[in-house]
Amino acid sequence: MFDLPQYEIAIELMGLSICLFMAIFFFTDSKDKTTTTKSPRRFLAGFMLVYSITFFDSLLMVSDINANYPHTFGVFLPVYFLLGPFLYFYIRDMCGMTTYILVRPRLKHFIIPIASVIILIPFYILPPSEKQLIFSKNLIGSPETILPWVAIFCILIVHVILLGQILFYLVQSFRVLMRYFSNLKQFFSNIEDNQLGWLRILIVMLSLSWAIYTYEALLAWPDTMTETIRFSTSLIDVGIIYFISFKGLRQIAVFRDQNSDTEDERIINSEDKNATDEKNLGKQKYAKSALNDGDTERILSKLQKALLHDQLYNDSMLSLRGLSDHTGISTNYISQVINQKTDSHFFDYINSFRIDAAKQKLTNNQENKSILDIAYDVGFNSKSTFNMAFKRYTGQTPSEYRKTSL
């Protein structure tokens, strides 16, 4: 017969073990002496460690250890408040130009976890027998005293704050990813490999997990939750852990090797500015530039020569840093010239050369190449990306353009 609780114990143990292993691995890997900057994996290690504690907490419940040792009820609840901050730190560090450091102003992220411990004091000082009645039978052993009522109220308050806090950090993390995505075009000529789409999927998965937790904590608390739903929640959590482990092993900080000026960094890393402020910063970032009109024209001419004569646009891995190394022009000056003279991003500027080259190849009767081959020849990584870019520039698909031009 299918013994659901026993399987749930096995799943919690599986989640606990993989979390601890990956936390140790990511922390060890983040201290690589060969790198000049700290790896974002140190925050991912913290996230995995906290997640392991949530698995351990669930294990205490499903294995009835809580029932036998009532003083363990709620001990790890304040640790849950660290999930959101560590996820946010990891995403901020992954998307940032420089290492995300927990300087004193950023220690505010730990205020709520500390406050939750204080709020739960009335529950912690309850007698073990009272805790067991509250969690196992949803009863109060001494209804005439006020402390149990205060303890239950504090538990509910902490759960409400926890859910609000998790939602806040998921939203903030998503906003960081959106800002990051909008800035990719400033630094890369192909962006599909650097979009960090898996982090957006992770946020959706965590939202689903915490939606179920919301039901469990507020509507079905403490002992009316069906075993099937609890089992499903554990499976989702293990799936999240394996997903993070697999993706985290392969992911590196995208912007770390890209040079940028202070204003670019402020726009990408800003956590206090809203979208309007960021746009204003973007408009003002070149206000104090040392370049005059003559300088910008010379730089633009040098860029065009490098791209046309040396055909740098054919390199699908071409980045702002790569173009800077080739021309000897700083990344900041290249960005400024492209933004001001062509009213476009680095991404659009490079792709304009690629599309022009593709148009020549599509109309060349001597080059009997497929559209996919042409896309690769001019620097695109996939046919779908080429088709989208080509239609955006010409209003036609490559196939349509070839038919009408021959």
Cα–Cα distance for residue pair 302/327, rounded to 1 Å:
8
Q: What integer pLDDT is reported at residue 220 of this predicted model?
A: 53
397 three-class SS: coil
pLDDT category of residue 61 using cuts at 50, 70 and 90? confident
CB 91 within 8 A of CB 181: no
Least confident range of 14-23, 197-206, 229-238, 317-326 = 229-238
Equal CATH topology for 4-250 and 289-405? no
pTM: 0.81
Question: What are the helix (H) ranges across 77-146?
Answer: 83-95, 111-119, 121-124, 128-132
Mean per-residue pLDDT for 385-392? 90
Shortest CA distance to 241 belongs to which of 5, 49, 61? 49
Mean per-residue pLDDT of the chain: 82
Cα–Cα distance, 253 to 259 (Å, whole number): 13
Which residue blocks in 30-82 are alpha helix, DSSP H? 41-62, 65-68
Q: Which of 9-13, 52-56, 189-193, 216-220 has the lowest mean pLDDT?
A: 216-220
Confidence of residue 113 (pLDDT cuts 50, 70, 90): very high
**Residue 138: what pLDDT?**
64
Does 17 have pLDDT greater than 90?
yes
Q: What is the pLDDT of residues 238-268, one digit of tens each?
A: 989 999 999 888 887 777 656 544 444 444 4
Q: What DSSP state is assigned to residue 70?
A: G
Distances from the Cα of 330 to the Cα of 38, 242, 290, 295, 327, angstroms = 24, 41, 13, 13, 9
Sketch the domain layout of the chain as residue ranges.
Answer: 4-250, 289-405
pLDDT digits (tens, 9 = 90+) for 149-174: 888 889 889 988 998 999 999 999 99
Does the structure show a pLDDT above 80 at 85? Answer: yes
Instruction: Provide mean pLDDT across the span 327-340.
Output: 89
Asked if residues 90 and 176 have their Cβ atoms less than 8 Å apart, the reply is no
CATH architecture classification, 289-405: Orthogonal Bundle (1.10)
Q: Exposed, middle or buried: residue 309 (CB in 10 Å: 0-12, 13-18, 19+)?
A: exposed
Q: Are 214 and 164 in contact (CB under 8 A)?
A: no
Q: Are 299 and 334 in contact (CB under 8 A)?
A: yes
When the candidates are 1.10.1740, 1.10.3210, 3.40.1000, 1.20.1070, the CATH number that belongs to 4-250 is 1.20.1070
Task: Please tell me the predicted confidence (pLDDT) of residue 159.
Answer: 87
**Percentage of residues of the chain with pLDDT beyond 70:** 81
Helix, strand, or coil here: 159?
Answer: helix
- At residue 32's C-alpha, the angle toward residues 31 and 36, to 5°, is 100
In this predicted model, what pLDDT tens digit does every residue of 312-323 receive, in sequence order?
Answer: 999 988 989 899
CA distance 21 to 186: 37
What are the tens digits of pLDDT across the range 174-217? 999 998 888 888 888 888 778 788 999 999 988 888 877 777 66
> Amino acid identity of 95?
C
